[in-house]
Amino acid sequence: MRILKGTAAEAYVKKLERRGSRIEEVEPAVKKIVNDLRNNGDRALRNYAKRFDGLGTRESLRISESELRQAWNSTARPLKSSLQMAAKNIRQFCEWQKPSEWMRSAKGISLGQMVRPLESVGCYVPGGRFPLVSTLLMAVIPAQVAGVKYIRLVSPRPSSEVLAAAAMLGVNEFYKVGGAQAIAALAYGTKTIPRVDKIVGPGSLYVTAAKKMVSFDCAIDMLAGPTEVVIVSSRGKASFIAADLVAQAEHDPETLAVFITTSEELADAVITSLKRGKPGGPPLHIPAIAKESLKHRGAALIATSKQQAFDWANRMAPEHITVDRPDLSLVRNAGSIFVGDYSAQAAGDYASGPNHVLPTAGVARFRGGLSVMDFVKLITVQEVSSGGLSRLAPAIVQLAETEGLRAHAESIRVRCASA
């Protein structure tokens, strides 16, 4: 992990402002898969599931409810308790997030909104190196709180732990397919997997490219890329900062890991902690993936002032950001904010409550993380009385005629004439 300051630090930030995904590299292959699924349905889905996901010739695409129950029954008690605690906290946070219905009336006009859940959603749970039980919780629970009727899970080679988490939440539609083919199946439907209204959840570059490709036909949450961690502090504990950088860096060898500070002394202490661990303590364990990430995409930036530090951070618009308590109001762009020494970013990854499916690659400039709001529609309602319409009529007629839409104006006049 290198230390940058002055023009080198500014150049680094400018480069990050222009960062994006590399989905164009896989788009030709993904386009072929998506079109194949769209045209050939289950036949194409099974072919790709055999080729990429190890599906047996006679094996069902759908996981049975008995298999889900068995996974939960065979799960060790400590993991069951941990899943239940995390689920409880996530569900409570989602309940707090859920928007409310309301109506307001004044001068013959009643206005408001209704909240209606989406009918169906597809939740993608990555396979890969780790059994991401937490991602399943984060995708499914807000959909349940929103009231979504049909929740369909897809995951390549799901582990018993992932199946157990699904069983705990009462999900009964779980399909063992992944990649671009799973996204296409959810978007367009096959005989086995009905189409959904929206697809959520992170995945590989192929999954991200497929989500982008189907997004005009099926809603998606966001195009998620490699994990990002930014920490801005001039007085935090070096060992804590180093530990958080390593924790997020172990997600992916392309994780963006940045520490921003006005204190060169603290930056040196963080680098020392990464190399040797806490003074007097054991060396910090750094997985090989994290070492690669910190080497190629890690940096400590030395700012000349707090203002410059947060200017850099907000321009990066990172997925995760940790700040000191007095600086919370300075954050404008971030997926999720962690405040103070003991708000470990791993707490948000698992059990504190807020969602860990978060925007990356600067997308935090215009949207936040996955939430209940992703699974509901806000439908506006208006009821206008005769008197209320009479008060609005002059403005409506004037604006309609200005736009040359005479029938719009006449629809008002005919009502006012009969009042």
Lowest-confidence segment of 52-61, 234-243, 339-348, 368-377 by average pLDDT: 52-61
Q: What's the CATH fold of domain 23-223?
A: Rossmann fold (3.40.50)
Distance in angstroms (rounded) separating the CA atoms of residues 188 and 169: 26
376-384 vs 109-117, strand pairing mode: antiparallel
Q: Which of 61, 77, 379, 95 is nearest to 193 (CA)?
A: 61
Name the residues annotated as catalytic: 319-320
Question: 2-21+226-353 with 23-223: one CATH topology?
Answer: yes
- pLDDT at 278 > cutoff 70: no
- pLDDT at 280 > cutoff 90: no
Distance in angstroms (rounded) separating the CA atoms of residues 382 and 89: 36
282 — pLDDT class (breaks 50, 70, 90): confident
Decide: helix, strand or coil at residue 171.
coil
Domain 2-21+226-353, what architecture?
A: 3-Layer(aba) Sandwich (3.40)
Two tokens, residue 105: 């009336």
Decide: helix, strand or coil at residue 298.
strand
Per the CB < 8 A criterion, the answer to whether 184 and 211 are in contact is: no
Distance in angstroms (rounded) separating the CA atoms of residues 248 and 244: 6
pLDDT for residue 58: 87
pLDDT for residue 84: 98
Tokens 């007095």 belong to which residue? 326
279 — pLDDT class (breaks 50, 70, 90): low
Averaged pLDDT, 392-402: 98
Two tokens, residue 203: 């995945």
Lowest-confidence segment of 213-222, 256-265, 278-287, 369-378 by average pLDDT: 278-287
Distance in angstroms (rounded) separating the CA atoms of residues 408 and 402: 11
Calculate the average pLDDT of the chain. Answer: 95
Count of beta carbons in the 10 Å neighbourhood of residue 129: 10
Two tokens, residue 252: 């992916």
Give the type of residue at 98: K
Two tokens, residue 136: 């399943």
Indicate the helix (H) or strand (E) that contains 411.
Answer: helix 406-418
What residue spans define the domains of the chain? 2-21+226-353, 23-223, 385-418
- pLDDT at 258 > cutoff 80: yes
Q: Which of 345, 304, 296 is nearest to 322 (CA)?
A: 345
91-141 per-position pLDDT tens digit = 999 999 999 999 999 999 999 999 999 999 999 999 867 789 999 999 999
155-210 per-position pLDDT tens digit = 999 999 999 999 999 999 999 999 999 999 999 999 999 999 999 999 999 999 99
Lowest-confidence segment of 79-83, 293-297, 409-413 by average pLDDT: 293-297
Q: Which of 193, 190, 189, 192 is nearest to 218 (CA)?
A: 189
Q: Which of 340, 328, 327, 333 is nearest to 360 (CA)?
A: 333
pLDDT for residue 283: 76
pLDDT for residue 372: 98
> What percentage of the chain carries pLDDT values higher than 70?
98
34-72 per-position pLDDT tens digit = 999 999 999 999 999 999 988 888 899 999 999 999 999
Indicate the helix (H) or strand (E) that contains 141.
Answer: helix 133-146
Tokens 């069983």 belong to which residue? 167
Averaged pLDDT, 251-267: 95
pTM: 0.93
- b/e sequence 175-185, b meaning 16+ C-beta within 10 Å: bbbbbbbbbbb
